[in-house]
Amino acid sequence: MKKFFRLFAALTLCASFLTSCGDGFKTTPNGLKYKFLETNKDAQQVQMNDVLVGTCTLKLNDSVLRSVTTPDRILMASENLFKGDLPEGLLMMHIGDKAIFVVEADSVAALGMQLPPFYKAGTGMKLYYEIHLTDIITQEEMNEERKNYMENMEQMHEAEKETLAQYVSEKGIKASPDDDGLYIAVNKKGNGPKVEIGRNVAINYTGRLLDGRVFDTSIESVAKENNIYDSNRPYEPLSYRVGEMSLIRGWEKGVINQPAGSKLTLVIPSALAYGPQDLGIIPPNSPLVFDIEIVSVK
């Protein structure tokens, strides 16, 4: 009887300890650990393929890996890739909810996600996703947005074709657009070996916007004339092995099969340049003009 009361007292003390020191997390049948800090169950709930808008802090144990502090598009509700995966928790959320989800770091690393150097496999490290959901973009809304974007891009590209044709005419550039809208004007035909995949090339270049502003060059005198000189970089021909360096498509397409010694002017539509990327000196959806000299092909 004394042993029974001793055991009962121990279990009671243990239960009391867990209640007072518990972390408040629950676990789904699939093994995802979660805790809701704020709930709003009367609001719209996340559905499969919805895009979540809100803030998110991602931690590996106690170390912050990423933090989105201003509401933005942060995640998409998709299929689980392993037991205890995050999407199961996302589908539990409503607009206005705040929650923390705990995912096994080893499971994520096994999918190829790059984790920081201090991650140690097999040590039970956890990824903590703290999410405040402020809005939901449904799959239907995303499809409509994508449709409108494609229509706007098509209209922009059509207008751009006219702009480039006018530019080429005004500048007296002797070239016609290819199927992708790229103009390749051969100002001087070289007689050396041709640019081909796998060959080493050296190319001098000057890149301009349509309004004439020079944004980059390999020629020191041109950089100084256009107030973009940088004493920390070398001014010399760009050397690379064709096919092994990531260059804009318009450049790669323009120089291929051109012989060494050639001088070209490439008028490149934005779709073959940097597209909608904002690079500062190169605004989004900017056509580019490159004056190129193929110095050598080996």
The encoded tokens of residue 276 equal 């909608």
Tokens 């070996």, residue located: 193
> Would you call 289 exposed, middle or buried from its count of C-beta atoms within 10 A (0-12, 13-18, 19+)?
buried
- Just list the catalytic residues: 205, 215-216, 248, 274, 290
Measured at the CA of 129, the angle between CA 125 and CA 132, to 5 degrees, comes to: 165
- Residues 136, 76: contact at Cβ < 8 Å? no
Q: What is the per-residue DSSP string for 238-296?
A: EEEETTSS---HHHHHHHTTPBTT-EEEEEE-GGGTTTT---SSS-TT--EEEEEEEEE
